[in-house]
Amino acid sequence: MTKIIIIGAAGKMGGRIVANACQDREVKVVGGTEPTGSSAIGKDLGVLAGGSPLQALVVDDLRKIIAQGDAIIDFTVAAATLPVLEIAAQAKRAAVVGTTGHSEAEKQEIRKLSKKIPIVMAPNMSLGVNVMWKLISEAAKILGEDFPVAVTETHHIHKKDAPSGTALKMMEVLGEALGKMRDEIPCESLREGEEVGDHIATFTGAGEILTVRHQAKSRDTFALGAVRAAKWVVGKPAGLYDMFDVLGL
């Protein structure tokens, strides 16, 4: 049984992680956090997620409940990641980070902390997205310069970072396949309505177009990946892992 603590437990992603974790017999939600002053403090996570009580409460300080968990899941904001991981490292607890938008300096600090604890960090935890990264890499290698590629990504109007972490990873794998820098891959970012996530790689050749597209229809796809990552990472040696490691891709 993997015991998990959810950072930002009352948010949209936090609620879906709770709901999906409750359907997994190998997982137990033992608590969650929200910033001081949140109306969710002291409330039961199961009730907040629209289900039955779990006897797991929301607190305003991770240190109050860190000893109860095996792994921490964070899908909040980039500024919160390092404080969370520092507490996890002190307590020798594993972590899963699905937050994006970190600066290079923050990523460097995360790499340092991964020398103390196992961390799964990925810009997207969807199985389909991770397979997409593999597919577009292979397509770029085969098609080469004869099929110039461009990335388009669309998210909800509340998303702060652009391009999205998923799109940046697409640009990275395409760049590696083509021998280019990531920034040399064209990318258009759109913010519309409540779009969960739509990512497209378009290869344009002479008289033909190849499109590889992933559309997320629900936040559950990310929540399920996060729960799977949490089960996988507990007991692993200290290090920085991604969903390729979790899924064995």
Write down the pLDDT at residue 80.
93
156 catalytic per annotation: no
Here the contacts of 33-40 (C-beta below 8 Å, separation 24 or greater) are 33/5, 33/6, 33/7, 33/8, 33/9, 33/58, 33/59, 33/60, 33/61, 33/62, 33/65, 34/8, 34/9, 34/10, 34/58, 34/59, 34/60, 35/60, 36/60, 36/61, 38/10, 40/9, 40/10
Ranges of each domain in the chain: 2-121+220-247, 127-216
Catalytic residue, from 28, 43, 159, 236: name it: 159
Catalytic residue, from 155, 199, 214, 231: name it: 155
Write down the pLDDT at residue 108.
97
- The matching CATH number, chosen from 3.40.50.720, 2.60.40.3880, 3.90.1580.10, 3.40.50.1370, for 2-121+220-247 is 3.40.50.720
Write down the pLDDT at residue 65.
97
Query: CATH topology for 127-216?
Result: Dihydrodipicolinate Reductase; domain 2 (3.30.360)
Write down the pLDDT at residue 243.
93
Write down the pLDDT at residue 61.
95
Write out the two tokens for 10.
């009352």
pLDDT along the chain (249 residues), means of 10: 96 91 94 94 90 91 97 94 97 95 94 98 91 96 97 92 91 97 96 92 98 93 94 98 91
116 catalytic per annotation: no
Write down the pLDDT at residue 120.
98
